[in-house]
């Protein structure tokens, strides 16, 4: 068990064992609409292998930032025309108010959210929006790997925010209105694809559970996994709006 996830080991196989599918595109279309991404200057924080950059390549100006050099190497090969930088969410390598939109897609649970959200607010200009794409806590009790790896649920509950916590964190970082939405899907894995995911430790949670638990769960999966696995997926999407300049002053003056 590691103290933090190791994304360097995932870079080379990430796109194969976590492929872009119709579920991903459904979430993308939802975020694209709710955060109003087309035509904007967009920063993708925790860009990984460049999926958002590829999806927005023809209708937005997108920059990607990630703290894992191996992921950035794959991203640059996947989307040669995009702009990528090595950097952390808590210390973004961009000047103030440089972007119109910031997206954090399954990255907010990996960072110091208070500092990362404040940095996102700093690099957003007037009328900017931050979109946080994460899992709703209702996802974890029914996750398909729980029975095989019993400590996974508790590990992820510690890392992910509830809707109420997420709104509080975003407002504390200086954002005004926060629009919350949820999206329910069904995930499907065939047996061999599911085993490939487990063997490749396709999610960062695998790095945070005991090695003995992983070995026992993998052996059990190889014996017992059914031919087809279906499970519910529950997404939580928060779009936080930059508060218009002078709003606090006007509110104070009228009090």
Q: Which tens digits make up the pLDDT trace of 101-117? A: 999 999 999 999 999 99
Counting other chains too, the contacts that 157-161 makes at CB distance below 8 Å and 24 or more residues apart are 159/109, 159/110, 160/109, 160/134, 160/135, 161/108, 161/109, 161/113, 161/134
Domain 14-138+160-185+233-243 CATH assignment equals 3.40.30.10: no
Greater model confidence, 240 or 247: 240
Strand 228-242 with 124-135, pairing: antiparallel
Domain spans, the chain: 14-138+160-185+233-243
Are the beta carbons of 108 and 116 closer than 8 angstroms? yes
Write the pLDDT tens digit of every residue in 44-67. 999 999 999 999 999 999 999 999
Top pLDDT among 255 and 191 is at: 191
What predicted TM-score, i.e. pTM, was given to this entire model?
0.93
What's the confidence (pLDDT) of residue 2? 56
- In a 3-state reduction of DSSP, which class is residue 170? helix
Predicted pLDDT of residue 250: 39
Determine the pLDDT at residue 15.
94
């Amino acid at each position: 068990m590691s103290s933090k996830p190791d994304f360097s080991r995932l870079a080379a196989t990430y796109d194969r064992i976590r492929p872009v599918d119709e579920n991903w595109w459904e979430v993308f279309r939802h975020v694209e609409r709710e955060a109003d991404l087309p035509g904007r200057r967009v920063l993708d924080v925790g860009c990984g292998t460049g999926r958002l950059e590829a999806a927005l390549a023809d209708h937005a100006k997108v920059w990607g930032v990630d703290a894992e050099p191996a992921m950035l190497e794959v991203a640059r090969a996947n989307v040669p025309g995009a702009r990528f930088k090595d950097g952390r969410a808590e210390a973004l390598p961009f000047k103030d108010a440089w972007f119109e939109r910031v997206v954090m897609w399954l990255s907010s649970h990996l960072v110091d959210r208070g500092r990362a959200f404040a940095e996102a607010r700093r690099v957003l200009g007037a009328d900017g929006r931050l979109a946080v794409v994460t899992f709703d806590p209702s996802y974890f009790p029914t996750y398909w790997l729980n029975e095989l790896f019993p400590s996974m649920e508790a590990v992820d509950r510690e890392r992910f925010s509830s809707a109420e916590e997420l709104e509080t964190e975003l407002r504390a970082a200086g954002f005004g209105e926060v629009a919350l939405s949820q999206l329910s899907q069904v995930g499907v894995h065939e047996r061999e694809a599911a085993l490939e995911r487990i063997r490749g430790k396709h999610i960062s949670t695998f790095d945070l559970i005991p090695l003995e638990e992983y070995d026992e769960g993998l052996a059990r999966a190889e014996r017992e996994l059914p031919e087809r696995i279906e499970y519910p997926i529950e997404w939580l999407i928060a779009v936080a709006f930059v508060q218009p300049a002078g709003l606090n002053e006007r509110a104070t003056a009228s009090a």
